[in-house]
Amino acid sequence: MKEIVIATNNKGKVKEFEQMFSALGTRVKSLQDFEEDIDVEETGETFEENALLKAETISRKWNIPVIADDSGIVVDALDGRPGVYSARYAGEEKNDKKNLEKVLNELGSTSVKDRTARFVCVIAVAIPGEESFTKRGTCEGAIALQPRGEHGFGYDPIFIPNGYKRTMAELTAEEKNSISHRRNALKKLEGWLREKGE
Ligand SMILES: O=P(O)(O)OP(=O)(O)OP(=O)(O)OC[C@H]1O[C@@H](n2cnc3c(O)ncnc32)[C@H](O)[C@@H]1O
Ligand SMILES: [Mg+2]
């Protein structure tokens, strides 16, 4: 596939998709590349529902194939929060720094062994005239005691992937893209992408 539209306004996601899709020879377009300001309301209760909402809304609007990514961080000691509310956890303004501070505050002095968490990414595919579907990828790890690192976006400065001492924001883009929830979801789409590429 030469080009794919991703129904997202998140620049961090776009960058990672660009990096991962370039290896497959596919150009990426996001909602930022269109004149119109579009923000699909995320009213679903699961990552799957929200990913489908975003992909299908844009696919129907322009009658083109679209993928969408709904993702977030699930913290065990917080009963799975922020989960699907990750983007707006500290308020509607969607502030990455405030969001991760809220998670750190809520965890307080919770011990390292009880700070287990995972990133979740669900990619939805919507094609005019075809049944939509989703693929889910995860990345297991733990919440750091303090934010560290400048790379990536969102909750990366407080997430330590299993097998690493560094936070996700201290990994290079290549390192993150080789283990991330987004990579793991995309891997499950590779068969479909190859078929569409022919
Ligand atoms: O809905 P779109 O337009 O795609 O953009 P968004 O930022 O609102 O995206 P989501 O609704 O999927 O919310 C995802 C939240 O999870 C965070 N998140 C997702 N992937 C992440 C990653 O790879 N690293 C760190 N945080 C991530 C992100 O910062 C948001 O707060
Ligand atoms: Mg969103």
- Rounded to an integer, the average pLDDT of 67-83 is 98
Give residue 44's pLDDT band: very low, low, confident or very high (50, 70, 90). very high
Phi first, then psi, for residue 112 (nearest 5°) are -55, -40
pLDDT score of 125 = 97
Quote the distance between the C-alpha of residue 59 and its chain's center: 19
pLDDT score of 198 = 52
Q: Which residues have a beta carbon within 5 Å of ligand 2, which is an ion?
A: 87
Cα(172) to ligand 1 centroid in Å equals: 19
pLDDT score of 160 = 98
DSSP, collapsed to helix, strand or coil, labels residue 10 as: coil
Atom of ligand 1 nearest to the CA of 99: 31
Burial of 75: CB neighbours in 10 Å, binned 0-12, 13-18, 19+: buried
162 known member of a binding site: no
From 71, 101, 156, mutation site for ligand 1 pocket: most ligand atoms within 8 A of C-beta: 71
Please list every protein residue whose CB sits less than 6 Å from any atom of ligand 1: 8-10, 13, 42, 69-72, 86-87, 96, 99, 119, 152-156, 180, 182
Confirm whether the ipTM is greater than 0.85. yes
Atom of ligand 1 nearest to the CA of 9: 3
Under a CB-based contact definition with an 8 Å cutoff, are residues 73 and 86 in contact?
yes
98 known member of a binding site: no
CATH number of 3-197: 3.90.950.10
